[in-house]
Amino acid sequence: MAKSGTPIRLLREDGDFIELNATKLVLSTDRRFGPKSMPFSGNNRVSIDLNLNKAVILIQGFFSDDEVATDGSKASATIDFGHYVETVVHTRGSADIRRKFCTVENLDKVFHATQNFKILLNDTDGNARNINIVIGSSTSYNSGTKTLTVVNTISAANLALEIKQAIDTSYSSYFTAERVDGLGSHSEGILTNSKLVITQAVSGIGGNNSSLPGYSKDDVYGTVYLPTTTSFSGGKNAIRKSAGDKVQDIYSILNNSSRSTLRAAGRTLGNIFRQGQPYGELSSSGSDYIVGIQIPFNSLIEPVGDTYVSKNFFMATGWLDKDEKSSENALTSGTTFSEVNNFTGISGGLKNMEISYDAGEAIYNFDLTFLPSDVLL
């Protein structure tokens, strides 16, 4: 289906995906309006189009044996320097409140030289790869001692950048680091480039570590506030599967899967109001439920030389103007899927799948129906 070699992917709630060998693709849309003949008008027809449409995606393809081990993935973790979470207790219970992390008062305590503060990371072999951080008069990084010096007025985005550069300088053989939009305090909302996504350089379950990234400090100043993290997860060892193995996997999902929590399902409601904001990222704590699909196509917009660029189809729903619906906004294949960003893929679920096998053949054929849905409860 993709000249670049990128297959169609079914996206699971836990961030994993299922690649499909597709031989035929049908994108069907039915606009729901019906012209009616008007009396005494010479059979003029009148209709009302309320932009109520039904979309269906039909895919035909096959499952075959893997020639080599595939599906290995790298574990990732995040540190959001935009906020810390404080639990506030009141007469009617308690609530988690996001507070600003990068304040002068907090940074002076967290990164004071006597605090001996470290960001703790482990590579896939379990070796410690730590970064020391201290407050100084200027921002610098010493790759020899792996000590990052920051000013106490640094912003969340710049702090994420400095730590990214520290990782790139000394630990590029073990991790990659990328800045993405994160969350500030409740009053600030979304902060550009305030969150750091740290990914292991090597695929495999060795990168999964539920306790890291973490922090080490000497507690010189008692209570200090630390940025929010998510642990390393998503690492998988590459394995080789037969066609039957693949059929069994998806057959199990189709016959028994549901969203992991109401919270995870409710997350997709944000698609109506918060398109493009980082609330719908898939998490390894999710289930194997299918929540989306990425279908590549070959684009000549921004080509690499004379060759195509592989991009994903997207569903142009929501309050978009005509320019936002253009193919120029399609993202490249391999983009991380988010349930609340329409441009990363197409949200929805599997309606049905028919799998057939002829005796003596080495492949299983399938017909699949996927129904796009921005909100899936």
pLDDT the model gives residue 92: 63
Query: Rounded distance, CA 262 to CA 254, Å?
Result: 20
Q: What is the 3-state secondary structure (H, E, C) of the chain?
A: CCCCCCCEEEEECCCCEEEEEEEEEEEEEEECCCCEECCCCCCCEECCCCCCEEEEEEEEEEECCCCCCECCECCEEEEECCEEEEEEEECCEEEEEEEECCCHHHHHHHCCHHHCCEEECECCCCCECCEEEEECCCCEEECCCCEEEECCCCCHHHHHHHHHHHHHHHCCCCEEEEEEEEECCCCCCEEEEEEEEEEECCCCHHHCECCCCEEECCCCCCCCCCCEEEEEECCECCECCCHHHHHHHHHHHHHCCCCCCHHHHHHCCHHHHCCCCCCCECCCCCCCCEEEEECEEEEEEEEECCEEEEEECCCCCCCCCCCCCCHHHCCECCCCCECCCHHHCEEEEEEEEEEECCCCCCCEEEEEEEEECCCCC
pLDDT the model gives residue 193: 93
pTM of the model: 0.67
- pLDDT band of residue 304 (cuts 50, 70, 90) is low
Residue type, 19: E
Residues 6+ apart with CB under 8 A from 261: none
Q: Verify that 80 and 224 share a domain, yes or no.
A: yes
CA distances, 352 to each of 26, 59, 117, 235, 253 (Å): 15, 11, 53, 29, 11
Q: Verify that 312 and 207 share a domain, yes or no.
A: no
Q: Verify that 106 and 225 share a domain, yes or no.
A: yes
Q: Verify that 104 and 153 share a domain, yes or no.
A: yes
Q: 233, 255, 278 — which closes off a domain?
A: 233
Q: Verify that 42 and 123 share a domain, yes or no.
A: no
The pLDDT mean for the chain works out to: 86
Q: Verify that 256 and 123 share a domain, yes or no.
A: no
pLDDT the model gives residue 282: 61
3 in a structural domain: no
Q: Verify that 219 and 333 share a domain, yes or no.
A: no
- pLDDT band of residue 139 (cuts 50, 70, 90) is confident
Q: Verify that 141 and 286 share a domain, yes or no.
A: no
Q: Verify that 60 and 109 share a domain, yes or no.
A: no
Q: Which residue has the tokens 């299922």?
A: 18
Query: Rounded distance, CA 371 to CA 304, Å?
Result: 33
2 in a structural domain: no
- pLDDT band of residue 96 (cuts 50, 70, 90) is confident
pLDDT the model gives residue 285: 62
217 in a structural domain: yes
358 in a structural domain: yes
173 in a structural domain: yes
56 in a structural domain: yes
Q: 214, 233, 252 — which closes off a domain?
A: 233
Q: Shortest CA distance to 194 belongs to which of 263, 268, 277, 135?
A: 277
**pLDDT for residue 33 is more than 80:** yes
Judge whether 376 and 321 are in contact, CB under 8 Å.
Answer: no
pLDDT the model gives residue 10: 96
- Hey, which residues does 268 pair with through a beta bridge? none
Q: Verify that 113 and 88 share a domain, yes or no.
A: yes
Q: 175, 207, 233 — which closes off a domain?
A: 233
1 in a structural domain: no
pLDDT the model gives residue 3: 47
When divided into structural domains, the chain yields a total of: 2
**357 is in which domain, residue-wise?**
8-71+239-372
- Cα angle 241, 242, 244; round to 5: 120
pLDDT tens for each residue of 174-184: 999 999 988 88
**pLDDT for residue 280 is more than 70:** no
Q: b/e for 18-36, b at 16 or more Cβ within 10 A?
A: bebebeebeeeeeeeeeee
Query: Rounded distance, CA 154 to CA 109, Å?
Result: 14
Q: Verify that 267 and 190 share a domain, yes or no.
A: no
pLDDT tens for each residue of 193-228: 999 999 999 988 888 887 889 999 888 777 789 999
290 in a structural domain: yes
pLDDT the model gives residue 209: 82
More confident residue, 305 or 372: 372
Calculate mean pLDDT across residues 30-46.
91
More confident residue, 266 or 311: 311
- pLDDT band of residue 58 (cuts 50, 70, 90) is very high
Q: Verify that 306 and 160 share a domain, yes or no.
A: no
